[in-house]
Amino acid sequence: MTNPEAQAQFHEFNQRYFGGKLPRYRVRIVDYIPKQREHGRINRKQRLIDLLAGHQDACMIATLLHEMAHAATNDQHADRFMEEMKRLLSVGAPITYEADLKPYEEKERFTPKRLTRTFLRCAAEEAIMGAPTTSLRAFVRWFVLDYGYADSSAEFMRKFPWVSHVFREVKKDAKAFEKRRAQFLSKEVTAD
């Protein structure tokens, strides 16, 4: 699929599945998307949809519809997004339950309805373990996009002001663990 073909598909799908109500977005085929395992992304502020090159047209079309569902609802995989994806499936849009809905429903099943400190702490530990320099701002943005609980990072922080405290605790614990680990490894090296 080329950039002009993707742009034409956006226009066609907007008319067919969204009644022409979505604002105009620029659609690009790109060679790289920073977040792993993503086939597409949307930037609502710039009205831009990027689709990852190198996939079959059917996958790119499903990804385009996925991003259009974000444009129609919000920036996360929460209830409104899921309802929109189900609506698209019911009206015959070229998406599938297995690939386009099931992964999010399964994630929703394991995400508590009410945010707890334990759940947030586990998510923060996972994020910091993967990228020790993760900032609170980056973590909250990722958490809101992945799990919901609010429509924006600012709203999330207003609803859950204790998040910054939990995040700082996790960062402190991670630094202490790394220090102990480094001490252990240095003793092991000197013993050899």
Q: Are 144 and 96 found together in one domain?
A: no
Q: Could you read off the pLDDT of 125-169 as tens digits, one per residue?
A: 877 876 778 899 988 988 887 777 887 889 999 999 999 999 999
Residue 43 lies in domain:
3-109
* Whole-model pTM over 0.75: no
Q: What is the pLDDT of residue 97?
A: 67
User: 170 and 92 in one domain?
Assistant: no
| Helix spans in 73-162 (H) | 79-90, 97-100, 102-109, 117-130, 136-147, 153-159
Q: Are residues 96 and 154 in the same domain?
A: no
Q: Are residues 92 and 12 part of one domain?
A: yes
Element (H, E) at 167: helix 163-191
**In 3-state terms, what secondary structure has residue 96?**
coil
Flag residues of the chain having pLDDT under 70: 1, 35-37, 75, 97-112, 130, 188-192
Domain boundary among the residues 88, 109, 130 is at 109
Tally of structural domains, the chain: 2
Based on the fold, state whether residues 11 and 100 are members of the same structural domain.
yes
**In terms of domains, do 104 and 26 share one?**
yes
Domain holding 93: CATH number? Answer: 3.30.2010.10
